[in-house]
Amino acid sequence: MIWYYFLFPCSIMAISFFYGLKINSKSKYILALFFGISVMLFKYTTTSLGNMIEFNKVNIPDITTAIIYGIISLVGILLGTLSDILPPLKKWGLLARQH
């Protein structure tokens, strides 16, 4: 489960950071909703589906997973958007915005 509790949050935070860094429109916040729902569906269609098939019972998707991963993505987007205050990153060329 290391992929679910460590790799997913780290990769979502990194992708959201760079997305918030490069995109200037307000529609970038939809990415948080996308990541939240996609991770919820990933968990539902893998581990939960296996349990449903094995034990012949139906589970509903866990909405708290979508909320938690959506918040992680939103934090990454906000950090990327607010990263103009970090001069060393500008010097290395990581904060070159596209206008």
So what's the pLDDT on residue 2?
Answer: 77
C-alpha distance from residue 10 to each of 37, 70, 81 (Å):
17, 13, 18
State pLDDT tens for residues 30-56.
999 999 999 999 888 888 888 888 899
Give residues with Cβ within 8 angstroms of 20, minimum separation 6.
28, 76, 77, 78, 79, 80, 81, 83
Backbone angles phi, psi at 97, to 5 degrees: -85, 150
Global pTM value:
0.77
pLDDT score for 11: 93
The domain locations on the chain are: 2-91
